[in-house]
Amino acid sequence: MAWNLTEATEYIRLNTLDNEDFLDADDDRKTAILNVSKRTLDRKFTGKNIPNEAVFIFAAVLGAAFNDTNKLQQQGVASFSIKGIAFTFKDWAKKDIDSLIPAEVYDVIGVPSGRQVKWTVL
């Protein structure tokens, strides 16, 4: 799909907080992130109209989730260090792409998030 990258970048810059990874990406990377965002939302919400705003919001999340550092975690790297700075990832922190969809995207699309408060016994 051909994206208006100026529109997408402006929306993400003004409407999301964790947006640095998307904003700093080159045009090819932005297009790839938007394509994955759209494809994931189309698959998750089959038959629903997916507004560009939902794609843009999820794209900002994907940009952060698959930045250079976090991409290593997604690929199974447990830890690494560079010049005295060490990074350690938790095994439980690796997430399926669908679990990264924020509640705001569900709201924009107009479907319940499926996340709910559940009772627990201590």
Question: What's residue 110's pLDDT?
Answer: 93
pTM given for the model: 0.80
Average pLDDT over residues 65-79: 74
Query: What does each C-alpha distance from 76 to 66, 79, 108, 116 come to in angstroms?
Result: 13, 9, 32, 30
Q: Judge residue 2's burial from the number of C-beta atoms within 10 Å of its C-beta, 0-12 exposed, 13-18 middle, 19 or more buried.
A: exposed
What are the residue ranges spanned by the domains of the chain? 5-109
Looking at per-residue pLDDT, the higher value among 88 and 63 belongs to 63
pLDDT tens-place string over residues 81-117: 888 888 777 765 557 899 999 999 999 999 987 666 6
The predicted-structure confidence for 6-53, as pLDDT tens digits, reads as follows 999 999 999 999 999 999 999 999 999 999 999 999 999 999 999 999
Residue 102 contacts residue 57 (beta carbons within 8 Å): yes
**What is residue 67's predicted lDDT score, i.e. its pLDDT?**
82
